Structure 1
Amino acid sequence: MTTLLALSDDFGSQLGKGIGAIALYAIVGLVLVLLGFYAIDWTTPGKLSDLVRTGKPNAVVVTSAGLISMAFIIVVAINNSDSDLTAGLITALVYGLVGIVVQVLAIRILEWATRIDIGTLIQSETYSPASLVVAAAHLALGLIIAVSIS
């Protein structure tokens, strides 16, 4: 008994286009995550990557939350991009960039409003619960901005 799998004539072509789209969106996503990290690093006192690498606990908490919040924004930007690949990539990139800028500005305003000295906090050798407030602010604002994209 022989069973045949029926595939459309353009199955291979569609599969190839899908794989290409995944790769291109992954590149856009990676670029946006890197830009998001450097935007957080640039606007935060101290060299964030060095503080994380040396194991400063509050820097790790804040940076982790910042990266996750950027990922929310980027995922929604990609998910809401146009079905046309070129337009979709451009839309995801633009919405992602705008989202990152708004996120960084919003988090700095929130830190100012809460009067948390982020520079001292992230350079501390010991864990401080205030880092959870900053992390929660990153996550909350990232979700708000992500939903505003949709």
Structure 2
Amino acid sequence: MITNLALADTFGSDLVKGIGAILLYGVVGLLLMLVGFYAIDWTTPGKLSALVHRGLPNAVIVTASGMLSMAFIVVVAIFNSASDLTEGLITSLVYGLLGIVVQVLAVRLLEWATRIDVGSTIESETFAPASVVVAAAHLALGLVVAVGIS
């Protein structure tokens, strides 16, 4: 019995296109994650990156949850992008940026409504339970916004 293991004629070009798409979506994803981090940093009292670098536990918790919430938004924006590569990259970028704006505004509104002093919470040298509430707000609203994109 002879089995033919030949590859399809378009295998090579399809593989190269797939690799290119992965790299381009990776760049878009990285860009959106950076924008998301700076949006969180800019709208949160204190300089998050400096507070994280100092190892302040509440700043680490809030920043990590913010990054995870941004990742939810970016992943869903990419997953639901158009099938055409160019259109897909554009829709991912637009949906991702809009999702980041909605996420940041929603978290700030929720923090205001709960009257949590985020600035003093993230600058505390010791663990503050309120940081878990802020982290939960980030994650929950990130999921809500991500589902809204889909």
Output the TM-score relative to the length of structure 2: 0.98
* Partner Cα distance (2:88, 2:58) in 1: 37
User: Number of aligned pairs?
Assistant: 150
Percent sequence identity over aligned pairs = 74
Deviation at 1:6, TM superposition (A): 2.2
Deviation at 1:7, TM superposition (A): 1.2
* Partner Cα distance (1:6, 1:133) in 2: 57
The residue that corresponds to 2:13 in the other structure is 13
The residue that corresponds to 2:112 in the other structure is 112
Deviation at 1:15, TM superposition (A): 0.3
The residue that corresponds to 2:83 in the other structure is 83
* Partner Cα distance (1:33, 1:139) in 2: 15
Runs of 4+ in 1 over 3 A off after TM superposition: 1-4
Comparing 4-13 with 56-65, greater Cα deviation is found at: 4-13
* Partner Cα distance (1:142, 1:108) in 2: 13
Structure 1 gaps of 5+ residues are none
Deviation at 1:82, TM superposition (A): 0.2
Deviation at 1:4, TM superposition (A): 4.2
* Partner Cα distance (1:2, 1:36) in 2: 55
Letter in 1 for 2:34: L
Letter in 2 for 1:108: R
Structure 2 gaps of 5+ residues are none
**What secondary structure does 2:67 align onto?**
helix
Summarize deviations over 1:76-118 as a string: whole Å, max 9, x none.
Answer: 0000000000000000000000000000000000000000000
* Partner Cα distance (1:2, 1:51) in 2: 65
**What secondary structure does 2:83 align onto?**
coil
The residue that corresponds to 2:137 in the other structure is 137
* Partner Cα distance (2:46, 2:133) in 1: 19
Output the TM-score relative to the length of structure 1: 0.98
The residue that corresponds to 1:51 in the other structure is 51
* Partner Cα distance (2:87, 2:127) in 1: 45
Letter in 1 for 2:16: G
* Partner Cα distance (1:131, 1:142) in 2: 16
Deviation at 1:149, TM superposition (A): 0.5
* Partner Cα distance (1:5, 1:39) in 2: 51
